[in-house]
Homo-oligomer: A and B are copies of this chain.
Amino acid sequence: MEAINVGLLGCGTVGAGAAKLLLQNARVIQARLGAPLNLKYVADLDIETDRGIKFPDGVLTTDAQQVIQDPEVRIVAELIGGQTVAKDLIMQALDQGKHVVTANKALLAKHGNALLEKAASKNVVLAYEASVGGCMPIIKTMREALVANRVNAMSGILNGTCNYILSKITDEGSEYEGALAEAQTEGYAEADPTLDVEGLDTAHKLAILTALAYGVEINLDDIFVEGISKITPLDIEFANQFGYRIKLLAISKDRGDAVESRVHPTMIPFDNLLSSVNGTLNAITVSGDAVGDIQLNGHGAGMMPTASAVVADMVDIARDLLSGAKPRIPLLAFQPDRIRPARVLSMDELQTHYYFRFAAVDRPGVLSKISGILGKHGISLKSVHQKGRKSHGSVPLVMLTHHAREKDVKKALKEIVALDVVTTEPVLIRIEDKNNTDQG
């Protein structure tokens, strides 16, 4: 049967992984697809470095245009990353009528609409399974497996770097800085880890998933993002005592007239399966009206897991080509004319449970002052814990609230921090319990 020729743009970690997989597993891929998926080109500015891959003659090229312009190439995978060259090359490939596969979540989150419109106008596929959750087929699950469901909510651990660091702090009581340094040594964190640890990478992925889940168009900038750099072993230990783990979660919920879409460290109870997902693993739970909760977990990054998703996208496209299908699945899960712009709920409007930790002077009356302010703002307490340990001349005072409005919480904390008995900025961590997932 006719071979389907593919070309890769970029031979970094994911590009090299995809090349390796296409070459090493060519036989099993063909046994499933029914035709060879032939790696015709790998374009990279650096074709000298030995990547431990035996490329057939003529495959390596420094010229991306050779890939894009070759009429024999049906599928182009953009695995360069970044938002300038990558965007231009994707646009050019689409213009040439190529189907495109990408793992570039930042690009999709920021310029997805332009790219998707171009793909639709050229009647080709722009596939992006590898952009979210590495090897976990979350895009496929959302667009295909859950097609009969109204999706109500989802929450996920979508960044392996953050999950590794939080797991380290949890398991070994390390401080954040030490855990980050170890993640860097292990190759799980970049030299500049900002994009990961400050939650931006997670927000990019959440923007894509939010669109797919509810058929909405939202602004990436409206997603609230708080990273993990302020998480301490002390808060993780308190969380543990109350039956929670702290995870960096991407959370989104359909609120009818708006959507929630937020990224922040979150306390989740032990019986939430996400709480058992540790190390660099990713996981996502999606709630649909028919399925209830469904969860995927697996390696959310890394050379071969990401490559697996890239090649799976290629095979999906190759199957269309071999069966004579036009693009079958709307790129953003819903037909373009059914996608509505949606407002992202502001954090002021959020209602959830909260964990507060105050560093307070160990003096009678402090608790009454603090709880008085909270009460004045309509925030009722579920429990209060005053722990003996002194740190810097103050004691940690920990409070868990019932359902409260973030707007009220902010106001109250502002008043509390002005008290002379409170010595440092309070710690606020949001709690996601089953009951507040359900009620909102």
Residue numbers of A with Cβ under 8 A of B are: 17, 21-22, 25, 28-29, 31-34, 129, 135-137, 140-141, 143-150, 215, 273, 276-277, 288-299, 304-305, 307-309, 311-312, 315-316, 319-320, 322-330, 333-335, 338
Seed contacts A32-B333, A291-B308, A292-B299; 5 additional CB < 8 Å A-B pairs: A21-B148, A135-B291, A137-B144, A291-B299, A323-B328
Docked-complex contact A329 and B319, CB < 8 angstroms: yes
Query: Chain B residues near A309 (CB, 8 Å)?
Result: 145
Docked-complex contact B25 and A290, CB < 8 angstroms: yes
Docked-complex contact B312 and A319, CB < 8 angstroms: no
Please state the number of chain copies in the assembly.
Answer: 2
Nearest B residue (CB) for A322: B328
Which one of B31, B147, B320 lies within 8 Å of A325 (CB-CB)? B320
Docked-complex contact B145 and A140, CB < 8 angstroms: yes
Nearest B residue (CB) for A25: B148
Known: A312-B146, A335-B31, A335-B34. A135 touches B319 (CB 8 A): no
Query: Chain B residues near A144 (CB, 8 Å)?
Result: 137, 140, 312, 315-316
A315–B326 CA distance with the chains assembled, in angstroms: 16
Query: Chain B residues near A290 (CB, 8 Å)?
Result: 17, 21, 25, 135, 304-305, 307-308, 311
A312–B294 CA distance with the chains assembled, in angstroms: 15
A150–B330 CA distance with the chains assembled, in angstroms: 29
Nearest B residue (CB) for A139: B145
Q: How far is the CB of A253 from chain B (nearest CB, A)?
A: 16
Q: How far is the CB of A13 from chain B (nearest CB, A)?
A: 13
Query: Chain B residues near A320 (CB, 8 Å)?
Result: 323, 325, 328
Known: A305-B291, A308-B291. A145 touches B137 (CB 8 A): yes
